[in-house]
Amino acid sequence: MSTSMKSVKETSLWFAGPRTNPNTRLRLFCFPYAGGGTLMYRNWARNLPATVEICRAQLPGREVRLKESGFTRLGPLVLSLADAIEPYLDLPYAFFGHSMGTLIGFELARELERRHGLLPANLFMSAHVAPQISHRSTPMHDLPEPEFIEQIRRLNGTPKEVFEQPELLRLMIPLMRADFELCHTYTYSPAPPLDCPITVFGGLEDHETPQSDLEEWCVQTTGPFKLYTLPGGHFFLHSSQPFMLQVISQALQASLKKGIRYEEVNQRIRPRLDLCAS
C-alpha cells in the first residue's frame, strides 16, 4: 500500500465540489490556467449531464489555499495530485484543462496510467500546443515587476478589477510568477500515446497556439482525436463556453453509453480505495 494514501476528507482540499449526487456516473476534473482558480468552472455543472460531477482543482497559492506557496515545477504538483485524486477513482473520470491546466491534466493522466493502468474517459485540452513541441515564447516569470504586470495585462485573462486594486495585485503576483515558471520549465518526456479520446480546443486569434501546433496533439493518443478552433484569443473559453460545453457534454455522454468498464480496475485497487474512504 502506498504510504501517501489519504482519506477523502484529507484530500478534499484539492478539489472543490462536494460529492453529494448519488446519480454521478463520471467525474470531470477541471484544472485552471496560470493565475486562475476554481471560480472559472463554477457554473459548468448547469450545462453538463446530471450524471457528470464537476471536480474543480484547488491548487496551492490561490483562493482557500492563498497562504500556501504555488508549485514552480510540474512534476511535484502532478505527484501530489495523483495522491489526492485516488479516493475519487471509484468512477470513470475525464480531465479538462486550459493553458497551464492542459499540461497538468495531460501529465496527471500519464501518471495515473503508470500507477493504476487507469485512463481517463476523455481528455479535453484547451489553449496549449502539443506537449512535445518546444517552448517558443520568452520566459515571463523572472521579468521585473512593471514588465511582468504589463505582460499579464496583455494576455487579457486577468479581470481588470485586479489591476485596479494594488493590494490584490500584489497578492496575485507571486502566484502568477510561480505558475508561469511551472509552464516554462516543463520538459516533455517521450512515452507511448494514451489509449483514450483527446479533444483539443484552440482560439483562432491565439497567436501563441497556432492550429498546426494544436494538430500535433493527435500523436498523443491511439484513440479518437478532434480539434475545434473557436473565435477569440487565448481566453476564448469565456466567450465560446456554451459551444465548448456542448462538445464536452456530447463526448461524455458518448463515453458513458459505451459502458466504460471499470470493474477489473476496481477489483485491483478497491482495497486501496476503501482505505482512502475510511
- List active site positions: 99
Pairwise CA distance, residues 192 & 250, whole Å:
27
Whether 35 and 102 have beta carbons less than 8 Å apart is answered as no
| Distance of alpha carbon 104 from alpha carbon 74, whole angstroms | 7
Query: What's the residue count for the chain?
Result: 278
DSSP 75: H
C-alpha atoms less than 13 angstroms from C-alpha of 32 in its C-beta half-sphere: 27
Backbone angles phi, psi at 102, to 5 degrees: -65, -45
Q: Find out whether 55 and 29 touch, Cβ atoms under 8 Å.
A: yes
Q: Which residues pair with 124 in a beta bridge?
A: 96, 199
- Which grid cell is 261? 468498464
C-alpha–C-alpha distance, residues 166 and 14, integer Å: 28
d(CA 205, CA 231): 7
Concatenated DSSP letters for 116-130? HS---SEEEEES---
CA atoms of 17 and 223, how far apart (whole Å): 29
